[in-house]
Amino acid sequence: MKNAIPRYLTLLVFVQFSCAQVENTPPIKTPDSKKYTPELVVPDVEIPWGMVFLPNGSLLYTEKEGKLIRFQYGKKNEISWLPTTYVRGQGGLMGLAIHPNFEQNNRIYFAMATPNEDASGGNTGIYSATLLGNTLNDVKLLYKAEPDTKKGVHFGSRIVFDKEGYLYFSIGDRGERDINPQDITRDNGKIYRLNDDGSIPNNNPFVGVDGAKEAIYSYGHRNPQGLTLHPETGALWEHEHGPKGGDEINVIEAGKNYGWPKITYGKNYVGTSITKNRSLPGMEQPFYYWVPSIATSGMAFVTGNKYPYWKGDLLVGSLKNSYLERLTIRNNKVVARKKIANGIGRVRDVIIGPYGYIHIAVEFEGIYRLIPKN
């Protein structure tokens, strides 16, 4: 376990660096000269994956190896009666969300790599359960991708509810890029949409299409590990890992094809070409992409007034480079990138918590709150 006390105590946040896809836009400067410091809220966490605040202010978070933890008043309580997690490679207990009416129904939702009967393989499953104290009740498997496989890559998976109460979740291509992402009769490499009870909305884009997986909302994705709603438009935003280069942000629309692997700005990890195509008819261009990759994970828009000059900016965690990235968006384009908490460690998730504070989940460190210094 690494020392949970960060090597830095004060962060200069006014740091600008070069980026892809902003060549034709002059860099902007924000008048934000304040300093911020990360405050360790939850220490001694191995691989946190998803986190959400409950209405009473307690923090619920997942650990990849199969633990669901409630943190309140400085104390950790492990939630019991969690299903068995298929911990393999990148797979484990992942994304987490609460029902929009949690105060009335106590329902939570989580993504989990789920084993088959003999644990010889697995795939991503989406569950709901009632949280009563520190125990799960009425646990239901709402959706499980098929087929099961021993491959340990590209499970996804984030969960978010939209303003109409629809449940969205992501599942990666499971390492089968040539057969899964572009085929709507197959799971994997998709964004899905369900009703809160697991049923399929009758206005999903592929309902009634012969052979289609009707829960699919969009397709052509590689390994989506970020989902969030735009605070003003309500649009669903997603980011996903590219291969070597080509991490990308997409604004998700019903039935759209986001191209993987037919189009990409990345290459194979050995440096060889995946495709010469950066665009093709009928396939969406990313809203933004990174070359080189930063290994994106977790995303949130800055809301509230704790960071007034950041309001409306998009936060994206970097696993590879150990920082939180802040993207400034003007006129529907990214016009600046800045590093936040540079060197903090592998950022797995970021959310805006109570009172508008940014919370950052960092592997083998803990969960931090970013405190403005007056």
Q: Which of 311, 286, 142, 314 is nearest to 224 (CA)?
A: 286
C-alpha distances in Å from residue 43, one per residue of 65, 71, 76: 17, 11, 10
What structural domains does the chain harbor? 1-43+295-374 (no CATH), 79-286 (2.120.10.30)
Of residues 154, 221, 239, 359, which has the active-site annotation?
154
pTM of the model: 0.92
In the residue annotation, 154 being an active-site residue is answered as yes
Cα-trace Rg, the chain: 20
pLDDT by residue for the chain (374 residues), tens digit each?
444 334 333 333 333 333 445 433 444 444 444 578 999 999 999 999 999 999 999 999 999 999 999 999 999 999 999 999 999 999 999 999 999 999 999 999 999 999 998 888 999 999 999 999 999 999 999 999 999 999 999 999 999 999 999 999 999 999 999 999 999 999 999 999 999 999 999 999 999 999 999 999 999 999 999 999 999 999 999 999 999 999 999 999 999 999 999 999 999 999 999 999 999 999 999 999 999 999 999 999 999 999 998 999 999 999 999 999 999 999 999 999 999 999 999 999 999 998 999 999 999 999 999 999 86
CA 103 to chain CA centroid, nearest Å: 24
CA distance 203 to 19: 38
CA distance 309 to 31: 7
